[in-house]
Structures are given as C-alpha cells and as structure tokens.
Structure 1
Amino acid sequence: MTLLFVAIGAAVGAPARYLTDRAIQRLHSDRFPFGTLTVNIVGSFVLGLVTGGTVTTTGVYALVGTGFCGALTTYSTFGYETVRLLEQGAPRRAVGYAALSIAAGLGAASAGVAIGLTVWNAA
C-alpha cells in the first residue's frame, strides 16, 4: 500500500514540477533558473510541514513527503543548472544560485517544521 501512495504522490508531483518550472521561467527573460529554485523551496517547505506534523501516518508521509515532494523537487537539475551557469561564464550567478538554493531550502524546511509542529500539537 505504501508503494501505491508514493506512486500517486509522484504522479502529481512530477507534472506539478514541470508546469511550475515552465510557468515561472516564462515570467523571466533571464537565464537564471527561477523555476527550479521555486519548486525546490516549495518542496522543502511542504516536506518540513509534513515532517513537523508528528501525527501524520506512514501513508500520508509516503504520499506527500516521499511521492509528491520527491517528484516535485530536484537536486539533479539544481546541480546541472549550477554547472551550466559556470560553463556560461557566470560564476557569481552560479555561486549565488547555489547559496540561495541551500539557504532558502533550509529556511523553508525549518519554517515548515515549525508550522507543522505548532498546528499539529495544537490540535
């Protein structure tokens, strides 16, 4: 049953990642990877929220945490885009992108955990 939850979450997360990335990139004429940055921050927040929700069941965590967030976020694309910025002669952008991605992802995950703990412990 857990595998089914992961598959359903991934089936929603993967298209959400693609559509969000494309929509965000269309708003920017810049080559900076705003789409990947956005989905990674959102995914970090959602995963933190689920993790902070200490009453969540294995099924909920498999569906949302592993399935949805696993398909929504992408470390490989983050790595590729960082290297691509370096190859294009934009080392400051590459370092800025990497630093922003890590800091914002950690901040979003921390905020999600804090909110999850507050909401689920209050219930």
Structure 2
Amino acid sequence: MTQFFLVMLGGGIGAVIRAFVTNFFNNRINSTYPIATLVVNILGSFLIGLCMGLTLNVTWINTFLIVGILGGLTTFSTLSSELVQMLTPNKQIFHFIIYSILQYVVAFISCLLGYFMI
C-alpha cells in the first residue's frame, strides 16, 4: 500500500512540474513542434538514467522518484496525441518524422548519458 501512495504522490508532483514547464514554454516560444513535451521527456529521461546510474537500491526512493515524479514528468500520452495531431488533418509527415526522431532518439541518448555520468 505504501508503494501505491508513493507513486501517487510522486506522480502528482511530476505532473504539476510538467504543467509548469508546459505553460512556461507555450507562453514564450512559438514553434511548429510542441517544445515543452520534448523538454520534459528529454530532461526526465536524463534524470531517470542518472538515477539508474546512481544505482539507488532503496525501493521507496526508486518508487517515489523514478516511477512517481519522473514518470509523472515525462509523458507518452501527450507525445502520442501530438503525433496524431501532426498526421491529421494536415498530414505533416515531415514534422511527424522529425519530432518522432527527436523524442525517441534524443530521449534515449539523454537517459544513456545520465546513466553513464556516474
């Protein structure tokens, strides 16, 4: 039961951080790409890799920090909906491909860099 509470609390914190980051970027940057989602996914992936590299073997810290906060910060549901919006109705295939590559490749590399920084 404690793990569920930690995930719920951490996830809420991560979602609030994501909302602040989204509002910050949406109010300051006008871009074809949803920059805020890119930022939270790359930053979150890097921090997840960093935590993994630290080999935090304390279950409640992993649950609260990685699954909760960083899981709430990063978002595949928003990413998926943004990719669908690029394909319909305008069929922006080029933007879809570039944004997909940025999200998946750069987020993976960020996680890897975070992991090996330690």
- Note whether the superposition's TM-score is higher than 0.5: yes
How far did 1:66 drift? 0.3
Question: Residue 108 in 1 paired to residue 110 in 2?
Answer: yes
The CA distance in 1 between the partners of 2:79 and 2:56, in whole Å, is: 32
Looking at structure 1, the residues matched to 31 and 38 of structure 2 have their Cα atoms a distance apart, in angstroms, of 14
Aligned length: 116
Alignment of structure 1 residues 30-109 onto 2, 5 Å: 30-87=31-88, 88-109=90-111
Q: Percent identity?
A: 28
Provide the residue aligned with 1:6 in structure 2: 7
Q: Counterpart amino acid of 2:12?
A: A
Greater than 6 Å deviation, 4+ residue runs = none
Q: Could you tell me whether the CA contact under 8 Å between 2:22 and 2:36 is conserved in 1?
A: yes
Structure 1: which 5+ residue stretches go unaligned? 119-123
Please list the CA deviations of residues 42-89 of structure 1 after superposition, one character each: whole Å capped at 9, or x if unmatched.
110111111111144111100110001111111111111111112223
C-alpha distance in 1 between matches for 2:116 and 2:63: 20
**CA shift for structure 1 position 11:** 1.9
Looking at structure 2, the residues matched to 19 and 35 of structure 1 have their Cα atoms a distance apart, in angstroms, of 10
Q: Secondary structure at the match of 1:29?
A: coil
CA–CA distance in 2 between the matches of 1:21 and 1:56?
31
